[in-house]
Amino acid sequence: MSDPAEPLAGPMVQVRGLTRTYGTDATAVPALRDVSFDVAPGEMVAVVGRSGSGKTTLLNLLGGLDRPDSGSVRIDGSEVTTLDEDGLSALRRDSVSYVFQTFGLIPALTAAENVGVPLRLRRTPVADREKRVELLLDLVGLRDHAGQRPGELSGGQQQRVAIARALAGSPRLLLADEPTGQLDTETGLAVMSLLRAVVESEGVTAVVATHDAVLMALADRVLAISDGRVGG
């Protein structure tokens, strides 16, 4: 995917005419209708909208977890919607990473091992992996919790592990679907600020879905979505 020769001038994410309808005919639910927007490299965009407005649908399409009915998604200049399964796996392994609302950590693994998962998928040499894991745990402030399992961590700590994991593979685009949805306001804010900080320090482009107004303020730009349409 990454061609060093290619100039980084263009947008990191380029969405054109994206449409996704669930179901058929009578029961059809148009979740996204003709959505188009760009996200510049290093930018942090907040996608906001009411429940059911299409935020999750949009993020899933950006990460190649779902396929659109029509339209195109380009990440760093390459078309995502035409990739096959293996191409999508590679995309997620190398360029796009996810932070889930429910953290999605593997319970049997320690915090450090969870962070190392994307590096394992890329077969990073052990020494490099361990160095990077240590660095990221430091970055999210969990250096002292490296050996704990998810069950032994608080919700906020778990989400910080999830963020460290999302950054481990040095992705170019980080997608987060309501990363603070399961956290209380205070912890949510702390996690969001952390996300903001690490995205900046790692130079990652981020698209974050949320409906918390306080969190929107931390973003470079807000993309409002309602009834499957992007406005403002």
Partner 1 sequence: MRRRFPRAHAATVGGRWRADWPLLLLTGLVVALTVGLAAAVDPVTERAADRAIAAAVHDAGASGAVVATLPAWYDDPRGKTRDPSTAVQVRQDADYARQALPAGLDAVLRPGVAWVTTPTLQVRQVGPTKLLQLAFVDTAGEAPAVTYDEGGPPRAVPRRALGLVEVALSQTVADALELEAGDRRTVQDEQGRSAKLRVSGVFTPGDPDAEAWDVSARLLHPVQGTADGLPYTSAAALVSAGSLADLRLVLPADDLTRRVSFRPDPSRVRWLAARSLEREIVSLQASASLSRGDVAWDSLLGSTLERARADIASARGRADVLLIGLLAATLLVLVLAAQLLVLRRRDPLTMARQRGASLASIGLELLVEGLTVAVLGAVVGLGAVVLVTGSAGWAWAVPVAVVAALASPVLGASWADVWAGARRVPANRSARRTATRTRLLRRLAVETAVLLVAALSFSALLQRGVAGDGAAGGDVTAASAPTWWAVAGALVLLRVLPVPVRWALRATRRSPGGVGFFVAARIGEAGARALPVLVVVVAVAGITLGASLAESDRAGQTSAALSSVGGDARIDADPQADLAQLAEDAEDEPGVDAAAAARVEDGARLSSGGASQAVRLVVVDAGDYAALLAASNLADAPQLGRLDAADGDEVPALLVGGDSVLRDTASLRWEDTSVPIDVVGTAPDVDASAAPVLVVDTDSFAAAGAVALPDTLWVVGTGTDAALDRIASRVDGVDSVVRLSDELEARRTAPLPSALIDLAVASSVLLLVLGILGLLLSAAAQAPERARSLGRLRALGLPQGEVRRVLVGELAVPVAVAALAGWLLGVACSYAMLGSLTAGSPTDVEVSWWTIGVVPILVVAAVAVAVLEWRRIRRRPLSQLLRT
**Footprint of Mg ion (CB under 5 A):** 55-56
Give 159: exposed, middle or buried? Use CB within 10 Å, 0-12, 13-18, 19+: buried
Residue 96 CB, shortest distance to ligand ATP, in Å, is 18
Give 125: exposed, middle or buried? Use CB within 10 Å, 0-12, 13-18, 19+: exposed
Query: What tokens were used for 102?
Result: 């429910």
Q: Is the Cβ of residue 146 or residue 222 nearer to ligand ATP in the bound state?
A: 222
Query: What tokens were used for 149?
Result: 């399992």
Interface with partner 1, residue 120, by CB under 8 A: yes
Residue 51 interface partner, choices ligand ATP, partner 1, Mg ion, none, CB cut-off 5-8 Å depending on type: ligand ATP
- Segment holding 133, helix H or strand E: helix 126-139
Residue 205 interface partner, choices partner 1, Mg ion, ligand ATP, none, CB cut-off 5-8 Å depending on type: none
> 211 with 50: CB under 8 angstroms?
yes
Residues 141-200 that bind partner 1 (CB under 8 A): 165, 169
Residue 225 CB, shortest distance to ligand ATP, in Å, is 7
Classified as helix, coil or strand, 80 is: coil
Q: Is the Cβ of residue 180 or residue 218 nearer to partner 1 in the bound state?
A: 180
Residues 42-101 that bind partner 1 (CB under 8 A): 56-57, 60, 63, 65-67, 85-86, 89-94, 97-98, 100
